[in-house]
Amino acid sequence: MEYRGPMLVVKDMERSKAFYRKILEVDIISDFGENVTFNGGLSLQTEESWIFFTGCDKEVFNYQNNTVEFYFEAKDFDGFIERTKGEELEFLRDVAMMPWGQQVACFYDPDKHVIQVGEDLTVMVKRLAADGLTVDELGEKTFLGKEIVENMLSS
């Protein structure tokens, strides 16, 4: 058996496709109308087809349950944040700096699925190194360890 990735139930496929393509810059690799798959393995399924396939009632749907997040990383995190400023995004909180030094943003997609975008870890390590942290300090702060940090810095 092989895991293929999450599938999100959505109310409006066209709105959701536009959101994921524009905001998260993912590409569609297959589009069957009621089901769309993006690069990276994330898929969307219309509410109507999900009800048909599963036999569930619409009443069992629980959008905005806040118990699952879908995580993305951006090499240009600041550029990503700047690009989202004109968009109608509902952020769960302000952009945050995690204890390990990574910048993250957390917001909802159109159907209230939680999306988190973090700064690419290699970019984070290089930024922290430019701030003067040694390899040993970076390994400890980021929880990545010295060897992984050295590999990131040399890439």
Tens digits of residue pLDDT in 52-88: 999 988 888 788 888 899 999 999 999 999 999 989 9
Tens digits of residue pLDDT in 76-85: 999 999 999 9
3-state secondary structure of 86: coil
> Which pLDDT does position 66 carry in this prediction?
87
Place of tokens 């993006």: 38
pTM exceeds 0.85, yes or no: yes
Cα 130 from Cα 102, distance rounded (Å): 14
Cα 117 from Cα 95, distance rounded (Å): 10
Do residues 48 and 55 touch, judged by C-beta distance below 8 A?
no
DSSP 67: S
Do residues 92 and 106 touch, judged by C-beta distance below 8 A?
yes
Do residues 12 and 110 touch, judged by C-beta distance below 8 A?
yes
> Which pLDDT does position 62 carry in this prediction?
82
Tens digits of residue pLDDT in 94-149: 999 999 999 999 999 999 999 999 999 999 999 999 999 999 999 999 999 999 99
Cβ atoms within 10 Å, residue 116: 15
